[in-house]
Structure 1
């Protein structure tokens, strides 16, 4: 199984350039229990092979995790499937459900 391709800085810039410039940026983490986090820092470095890498970091204090990711975001990321409400049962006149 091949690893997922990684984003380049140029691809992120291209994607972000379509967004409002005054929008805040948050990090979505953990597809199985999706949470939203504030970004704290961006650091350029090199990996063990000498390739340039940019790290986007979450802060260290407890205020960086903002809570659950909105369900529509988890669905858009394909982390969760859309959920529909179960169909309503129709009742007929004079019929009572067993208690």
Structure 2
């Protein structure tokens, strides 16, 4: 993804919406962002970094992990009907 791609994606969204980082596809968590820094890589190419604030906000919503392609959609297994136990009439 390039800065242009990111701008294109962000330009369709609410500019007042908070930004979060989704990290670790195997145990997805949400983090606050804290900054943007540009720096050259080892080949002199300019790279833009989005910084994590260090605040882990908790698990990423499952639908976000699915939309990112990190997890497959899941459906809870059907639960069997519970049997009703009727009180005994023998006394």
Q: Same fold (TM over 0.5)?
A: yes
TM-score relative to the length of structure 1: 0.77
Query: Which is strand-richer, 1 or 2?
Result: 2
The CA RMSD over aligned residues, in Å, is: 1.9
Structure-to-structure mapping, 1:16-55, within 5 angstroms: 16-55=10-49
- Aligned residue pairs: how many? 85
Match of 1:80 among 48, 68, 71: 71
The separation in 1 between residues aligned to 2:30 and 2:7, in whole angstroms, is 21
The separation in 2 between residues aligned to 1:34 and 1:59, in whole angstroms, is 16
Ranges in structure 1 where 5+ consecutive residues have no aligned partner: 1-6, 93-99
The separation in 1 between residues aligned to 2:82 and 2:37, in whole angstroms, is 61
TM-score relative to the length of structure 2: 0.83
Q: Does 1:15 align with 2:9?
A: yes
**Which structure has the greater CA radius of gyration?**
2
Consecutive aligned runs of 4 or more in structure 1 exceeding 2 Å deviation: 87-92
Ranges in structure 2 where 5+ consecutive residues have no aligned partner: 84-91
Q: Provide, for residues 19-59 of structure 1, a one-character-per-residue CA deviation record: whole Å limited to 9, x for no partner.
A: 11111110000000000000011101111101011111112
